[in-house]
Amino acid sequence: MSYDASKIDKKWQKYWEESSTFKTKHDSEKDKFYCLDMFPYPSGEGLHVGHPRGYVATDTFSHFQRMRGFEVLHPMGWDAFGLPAENYAIKTGIHPKITVEKNIENFKKQLRAIGFSYDWEREINTTDPEYFKWTQWIFIKLFEKGLAYEDTRPINWCPSCKTGLANEEVVNGLCDRCDAQVEKKDIRQWVLRITKYADRLLEDLEELDWPESIKEMQRNWIGKSVGAEINFKVKEINYDIEVFTTRPDTLFGATFLVLAPEHDLVKKILSKDVNIENLEEIKNYSEKTKKKSELERTDLAKEKTGVEIKGLKAINPVNKEEIPIWIADYVLGFYGKGGIMSVPAHDDRDYEMAKKHNLEIREVIKGGEIPYIGEGEMVNSGEFNGMKSEKGKEAILELLEKEKRAKRAVNYKLGDWVFSRQRYWGEPIPLVHCENCKIVPLNEEDLPLKLPETEKYEPTGTGESPLSKIESFVNTKCPKCKKDAKRETNTMPQWAGSCWYYLSFIMRGEKENMEFPFSEYKKSFEKWLPVDLYVGGAEHAVLHLLYARFWHKFLYDIGVVSVKEPFKKLKNQGLIMGEGGVKMSKSKGNVISPDQVIKEHGADVLRLYEMFLGGFEDKVSWSETGVSGMRRFLEKVEENSQKVKEVSPSKNLERILHETIEKVTSDVKEFKFNTAISSLMILNNEFRKEKEVPREFFLVFIRLLAPFAPHFAEEIWEEVGEKPSVLKQSWPESIKEKMKKESFSIIVQINGRVRDTITVNQGEDKEKVKEEVLKSEKVKKWIEGKEIKKEIFVPGKLINFVI
C-alpha cells in the first residue's frame, strides 16, 4: 500500500492557508505560548537538511501546545542585513535589496514546502525600513541614555571585510566571518556600553532554563573577577603604580611588578628625563611588542620575555620592600590597570617569568608544591602568619584601605561593544554631526533613515563607510538648529536587527506597520513575553544571545518591556552531518536539500526522520536508508487505517495505548522526539497484529502522530471519516488505571543473575510468589542442595535468592 505524499502535502498546506489554521489570535483568552526559532539569514544557497532540524522541533512543539490548549505564537522572519548580499552586490552591481528579496522568496518556498505552522501574517524582515526604523529608534534611546558613545581607540579590524569588528566577532585572532587575520586599528567608532550591564547579564543567567554550557560560555565571556587595586609607590620618582589582583593575601610574596609594554609609566620614562640605565632596551622591547599580533602575544606556548626597568624600584606597601619593575608582553595593557604584582610562588605565569629571569620566588601560602595556586595558611607574611588565606585577603585589604594604599575593585573581561561597521548593507546610524550642536539624533518622525541608492558598494578600507562618499546622503540639516550638518556614515552590525526581533512579531499582531510609539504595545508585551521556548544553534552563545539580552535589559529599564529576560527556555539543536559523519559541504558534494527529500518521500517523512535521527541536541549523521524507514512507518499506518472498525478493544491494546499517550506526552515535553516516535511505532506495530483496529484507539493514535506528521495525519483523519483539522483536536490524556497490568512477569534471580521469569497476578505477596517460583524446574535446578541465605522481593518486578 502506498500514498501520494506530494499530493497530500499540497492539499493540506492549501487547506491550512485558506482556513488560517495557524493564525495566532492576538487577544486570545487562552494561555499563551511563544515558540520561536532563531530566524535565518536568507543565503543564496538555500536550505540544507540541517537548517530545518530546529524548525521541525519548534513546529512539532507548537502543534503539541496548541492541542494542549495554548494560544501559540510561532512566527518567522529574516535576518537579512549582512555581508554576503553586499559582497555579491560589489561583484555584480545588483543591489543587495534585490538579492535579499530573491533569497527570501526561495527560503520561504522551501519552508512552506515542509508545512510549518508559522503565522506568516507576522513575517518580518530586518532590512525593511518599516522594521529598522525601530532598530534606529532603540539606538537613539541608547545614545540619549549615554549607552552609545563615540570613541577612537585601537579596535579589531578585518582587512578582508574592511570593517571594524566587535570582540565577540574575533575568534583566536581571526575574523569570525572570513577567517582573515584581524589587525588593530585606530578608528572612530560607535560603541555600546554593554559593560554597564555586566553584573545583571551575569546574575540573571541563574533564572534561565538554558543549556548549562551556554550559560557557562556567557559567564566566562563576562569574566567577572572580584579583587582590589593596590597602590605601589615608585621610589625614585613621584609616581604610583596601581595593580589589580584577586589575591591580596599573597602580597608578601610579590617580589616584582610587571607592566604591560603600553603602560603609562613606560610612555612617561620614554618621553621624560628619568634616569634609566637601559632606556634603549625598553624602547626596543616596546616597539617589538607593538608589531606582534594579538595571536602571537597570547600564545601560551611561548617563553616569558621581558625587560627590567633598571633605575626604578617599587615599594611594596605592606612590608616596604623595594622590588624591581619589569615590562613584559604577557601582561595585557587593556585589562585591569595594565600592570600586575607578580607572585611567582602562587601563580603559574609569574612562576615562569621568575624562573626565566632569575627573580625571587617566595612562598607565602602553605599548601602544596610551588607554584601553588590554592588557598592555605599564610607564611612569611609578618603579622599575618598562621592566618588562613581566605581571611588574610580581608585582613590585608582592611589594613591597606586604612592607609589609602588599596581599594576594592571588580574587573570584567567583557569589553564595550564596538557597534559601527564601515560597510554599506546595514542600518544607517541615525545621528547627525553638527558644528553647533555636536552630535544630534534624528527626530522620531524622520525615521526610518533609509540607505541611499548607489552603484558603488565597495568598502573604502580607510575606516570610513562607503556612505561617506555619497554626498546627497552625507549633507543634511541639523535636526536641532537646522544649520548645515553631516550625517554619521557608519552602519550598524549584523547583530543589531536580531537584538529585538522577537518583539516585532508581537507588535505585528497589534499593528500591521509597527507604528511608533512603543507605549502602544506595552499591554501586548506584557501578555506575550517572554519567549517561552527559543531554539537555534549554539554558535550564537556570546553573540546574538548576549547582545539581545543586553538590549532587552535596556528596554526593560526604559519601561518598554516588563520582564527582565527575553528568552525563558533555550534549546540548541545538534548539527546534521552527511552520510558517514562528514560535514555537509558543497565541495564534498554531499549536501542534502530538504527539497529532494520532500520530492521523494514528502514533507512528513523529512520531519519524522529529522526528529528520529537521534537526540535533539546531539550531532547526528544523515542516512538515506534511514529515511526510507520513516516512509515504511507511514505506509504501515495507512494500512492500519484500512482495518479501522467499531470494535471493542482488548485490555492489552488499551494498556499499550495509554502507555503510548503517557510516553509521547512526557517525551515531547522533554524534547525527546526520537523516543516519542519510537513509541508511536510500537503502538502502530501492535495495531498491525490486530485483524481489526478499534476506531476509537486509532483516532487517539492519529492525534498523537499529528504534531510530527501533520499532512499525513490530516489525510488519514479525513479518510477514516473525521472532519478536519486533526490539529485542532485536543491532546489525548492517559489514564493511570488503564496502564496497570493484570499479570506481571516476575524476574527470578539467583545470586543476582537472571535464571527464569514467571507470570504472576497483580498484587501477589512474597510468599505466594515464592511458592510459584519454587515450582519452576529451572529454579529447582539452581537451588537444589543449596541453602537460601537471603531473599529480596521487589513487588511487581523481581525476586532474588542469595544461596
Question: Within positions 469 to 508, which residues make up the interface with RNA, using CB under 7 A?
Answer: none
- 496 vs 676, beta carbon nearer RNA: 676
Residues 342-381 that bind RNA (CB under 7 A): 347, 349, 352
What would the grid cell of residue 194 be?
554593554
Q: Which residue among 40, 336, 426, 497 contacts RNA (CB under 7 A)?
A: 336
- 523 vs 588, beta carbon nearer RNA: 588
CB of 781 to RNA, least distance (A): 7
DSSP-derived secondary structure letter, 40: P
- 109 vs 669, beta carbon nearer RNA: 669
Q: How far is CA 667 from CA 567, 662, 674, 707, in A?
A: 22, 9, 8, 13
DSSP-derived secondary structure letter, 491: B
- 298 vs 385, beta carbon nearer RNA: 298
How many of the chain's residues bind RNA (CB under 7 A)? 79
- 646 vs 777, beta carbon nearer RNA: 777
Residues 219-238 that bind RNA (CB under 7 A): 220-221, 223, 225, 227
CB contact set of 588 (below 8 Å; sequence gap of 6+): 578, 582
- 474 vs 739, beta carbon nearer RNA: 739
Q: Which residue among 43, 298, 385, 476 contacts RNA (CB under 7 A)?
A: 298
CB of 212 to RNA, least distance (A): 5
Q: Which residue among 751, 771, 774, 780 contacts RNA (CB under 7 A)?
A: 751
Shortest CA distance to 443 belongs to which of 506, 504, 516? 516
CB of 519 to RNA, least distance (A): 39
Shortest CA distance to 487 belongs to which of 503, 473, 508, 497? 473
Residues 41-70 that bind RNA (CB under 7 A): none
Query: Using CA atoms, how far apart are residues 637 and 148, in angstroms rounded to an integer?
Result: 59
- 305 vs 476, beta carbon nearer RNA: 305
- 229 vs 718, beta carbon nearer RNA: 229
Residues 401-440 that bind RNA (CB under 7 A): 411, 413
Residues 611-670 that bind RNA (CB under 7 A): 612-615, 618-621, 623, 625-626, 628-629, 632-633, 636
Choose the binding region for RNA from 87-95, 528-536, 680-688, 728-736 (rule: CB under 7 A). Answer: 680-688
- 126 vs 684, beta carbon nearer RNA: 684
Residues 126-185 that bind RNA (CB under 7 A): 171
CB of 162 to RNA, least distance (A): 24
Choose the binding region for RNA from 54-62, 309-317, 592-600, 677-685 (rule: CB under 7 A). Answer: 677-685
Choose the binding region for RNA from 8-16, 182-190, 276-284, 749-757 (rule: CB under 7 A). Answer: 749-757
CB of 424 to RNA, least distance (A): 29
Choose the binding region for RNA from 72-80, 218-226, 520-528, 550-558 (rule: CB under 7 A). Answer: 218-226
Q: How far is CA 434 from CA 415, 420, 476, 496, in A?
A: 29, 19, 9, 25
Residues 761-780 that bind RNA (CB under 7 A): 778
Residues 709-748 that bind RNA (CB under 7 A): 745, 747
Angle at 616 between CA 611 and CA 617, to 5 degrees: 160
CB of 719 to RNA, least distance (A): 19
Report yes or no: 658 and 739 within 8 Å, Cβ to Cβ. yes
Residues 515-544 that bind RNA (CB under 7 A): 538, 542
Choose the binding region for RNA from 21-29, 122-130, 245-253, 595-603 (rule: CB under 7 A). Answer: 245-253
- 404 vs 753, beta carbon nearer RNA: 753
Report yes or no: 701 and 709 within 8 Å, Cβ to Cβ. no
Shortest CA distance to 75 belongs to which of 124, 108, 26, 30? 124
The C-alpha torsion from 104 through 109 and 112 to 113, rounded to 10°, is: -150
CB contact set of 459 (below 8 Å; sequence gap of 6+): 161, 162, 163, 422, 423, 424, 465, 466
Angle at 743 between CA 737 and CA 749, to 5 degrees: 125
Residues 533-592 that bind RNA (CB under 7 A): 538, 542
Choose the binding region for RNA from 81-89, 316-324, 330-338, 437-445 (rule: CB under 7 A). Answer: 330-338
Report yes or no: 118 and 74 within 8 Å, Cβ to Cβ. yes
Query: Using CA atoms, how far apart are residues 617 and 794, in angstroms rounded to an integer?
Result: 36
Report yes or no: 749 and 37 within 8 Å, Cβ to Cβ. no
- 517 vs 752, beta carbon nearer RNA: 752
| 576-577 vs 620-621, strand pairing mode | parallel
- Is residue 606 classed as helix, strand or coil in its secondary structure? helix
Residue that has been written with the C-alpha cell 549607552 in this structure: 147
- Is residue 500 classed as helix, strand or coil in its secondary structure? coil
* 340 is a site residue for RNA (CB under 7 A): yes
Angle at 710 between CA 690 and CA 56, to 5 degrees: 120
